[in-house]
Amino acid sequence: MGSTTPAIRGGAARQFNTGRRGAVVAALMLAMALAALDSTIVATAVPQIVGDLGGFSVFSWLFSGYLLAVTVTLPVYGKLSDTFGRKPVLVVGAAVFLLGSLLCAAAWNMAALIAFRIVQGLGGGALQGTVQTLAADLYPLAERPKIQSRLSTVWAVAAVAGPGLGGVLAAYTDWRWIFLVNLPIGTAALWLIVRHLHEPERRHPRHARVDWAGALAVFACGGVLLTALVQGGVAWPWLSAPSLALFATGLALVGVVVAVERRAAEPVIPGWVWRRRTIAAVNLALGALGLLMVAPAVFLPTYAQSVLGLAPVAAGFVLSVWTLSWPVTAALSQHVYRRIGFRDTALLGIGLAALILSAFPFLPYPGSWWQPTLLMLLLGGALGLFQLPLIVGVQSTVGWSERGTTTASVLFCRQTGQTVGASLFGAVANGVLAARLGGAGDLDSVTRALRAGTAPETTRRAIAEAVHAVYLGAAAAAALAFVLLLLVAPRRFPVLDEE
């Protein structure tokens, strides 16, 4: 570690005022709710937003712009929280998120709304990374599953309640309220953080160096590459000039990032993140998790509506059941990893997930709603056994001064995996449809035709086969995560003595 790494006197988890810990946990859950509700609550109001502001051809950037900003800022916020403490980073991030929400509510056209969503994302990166880091700071290893399961529950509730809340606000008030509703929640979280979060005393160096050149390089590199992945095959063909130019620029910026970070005294992405086997293995495994999560999150609602003939609300229920079993098994996973270890518990979870994902293509056609619902319930349970032990385990292998960077690297890899998965599986689904229908459109166009009653039964079968192929790809991603953990991760994580 460099000379600017702050030192902590004593065990971090024990030095937090336990009498105030409940208020801080409430603040963390509210802050996490802001990030968790964001995508689900906005998605249901898109028709009203487009009807008011126009810009249908670019509305997808309401989500892509936010995702890009969150992803590329995660490493920066992680390093800043290790240098200056979690509280100032969380306060600034929440304030930026709320400012972005207020600006979104005042947007006068689609371009302004997209720009303000990016501002929201700049704050959202601080919320996601710092909340997860503080969760590990607040609790010793034996109690960390408690707070992590609470945060998982926040995501589960947001997944179920977000679409409904967004629909109600858009239908009975105005779409601008889906952003204004963030203000009271965020204000309450900020008040609790400022009043009750008192971090342990640290000895800060006189001249703490911030690697702003590295932060800018990471931001530029991540933004260019993620834009290429998000827009490739959508806004332009994969082998077109814009796509090739973006990828070439991104690869050149990767070289810039490496050169800048090697010379930095306190790099934003330090080399030890990838040199330590445990952290590298968890980063790669959770990148694969982000990849496989795209299959159900993006393609299952289409399958439920187009193949099973379910209404949008019922299709949402089929998807949402995995958010019910995920936090349950996450909370129970401590009883497993205390016996067999973090790595083997994660191997058990991802091995089961691979089998469950592989079973999806064997569902009967057209089938019944309860069949994919059962698989999703089982999948959520398997992934709860996989993700939480890895996050708790990797956070326990580093001290306070490295925990923010480590947590941010894990979340960054998971977010990047989701972006890659959306592009990869979108290409897979469209390729299968083209083969089955003789090149007759992509997944979006054929599902719209099917719902409008203008497509034949062969289209419904083609969609089923396309989604089956995506699920097989997700099963391959789960198998990849299994192999990575088995070969790269140590059987016993080198957990630090908290004393």
Kindly state whether residues 334 and 432 are assigned to the same domain: yes
Contacts of 211 (CB under 8 A, 6+ apart): 79, 260, 261, 264, 265, 266, 267, 268
61-70, 93-102, 127-136, 419-428: which is most confident = 93-102
Which of these, 423, 467, 471, lies nearest to 227 by C-alpha position?
423
Position 344 in a domain = yes
* Strand positions, DSSP E, 198-331: 202-203
> Is the same domain home to 318 and 191?
no
Confidence band of 344 (pLDDT split at 50, 70, 90): very high
Q: Is the pLDDT of residue 1 over 80?
A: no
Tell me whether residue 388 is in a domain.
Answer: yes
Residue 234 lies in a domain: no
For residue 235, being part of any structural domain is answered with: no
Q: Are residues 133 and 274 in the same domain?
A: no
Q: Between residues 428 and 60, which one has the greater pLDDT?
A: 428
Same domain, yes or no: 192 and 274? no
Within a domain: 262: no
Q: What is the pLDDT of residues 141-182, one digit of tens each?
A: 888 877 887 887 887 777 777 777 777 777 778 888 889 988
Residue 197: strand, helix, or coil: coil
Q: Check: CB of residue 88 under 8 Å from CB of residue 130.
A: no
Are residues 180 and 37 located together in one domain of the fold?
A: yes
Question: Does 164 reside within a domain?
Answer: yes
pLDDT higher at 6 or 12: 12
The whole-angstrom separation of Cα 171 and Cα 242 is: 38
Q: 185-214 pLDDT, tens per residue?
A: 999 999 999 888 887 766 555 556 777 888
Whether pTM > 0.75 for this model: the answer is: yes
Q: Which residue has the tokens 């990575």?
A: 484
Shared domain for 387 and 489, answered yes or no, is yes
161 assigned to some structural domain: yes
- What lies within 8 Å, CB to CB, of 66 at 6+ separation is 38, 39, 117, 118, 120, 121, 124
**Mean per-residue pLDDT of the chain:** 84
| Domain match, 72 and 154 both | yes
Comparing 268-277, 328-337, 353-362, 452-461, which segment has the lowest mean pLDDT? 452-461
Closest CA to 323 of 152, 165, 478: 152
Number of compact structural domains in the chain: 2
CATH number of the domain residue 45 falls in? 1.20.1250.20
193 and 278 in a common domain:
no
Could you give the C-alpha distances from 468 to 97, 429, 433, in angstroms and in order? 38, 9, 11
302 and 160 within one domain: no
Mean pLDDT of 61-66: 83
Q: Are 456 and 341 found together in one domain?
A: yes
Within-domain flag for 160: yes
Using the predicted structure, report yes or no on whether residue 351 has a pLDDT greater than 90: yes
- pLDDT for residue 375: 94
Count Cβ atoms below 10 Å from residue 236 Cβ, excluding itself. Answer: 15
Q: What span, in angstroms and rounded, lies between the C-alpha atoms of 197 and 7?
A: 18
Contacts of 474 (CB under 8 A, 6+ apart): 291, 292, 294, 295, 296, 357, 421, 425
Give me the pLDDT at residue 205, please: 53
Last residue of a domain, one of 178, 197, 216: 197
State which of 197, 229, 251 marks the end of a domain: 197
End position of a domain, from candidates 197, 230, 246:
197
* Alpha-carbon gap, residue 104 to 96, rounded angstroms: 12
Domain that holds residue 60: 19-197
Looking at the structure, tell me whether residues 275 and 150 fall in a common domain.
Answer: no
Q: What residues form DSSP beta bridges with 203?
A: 7
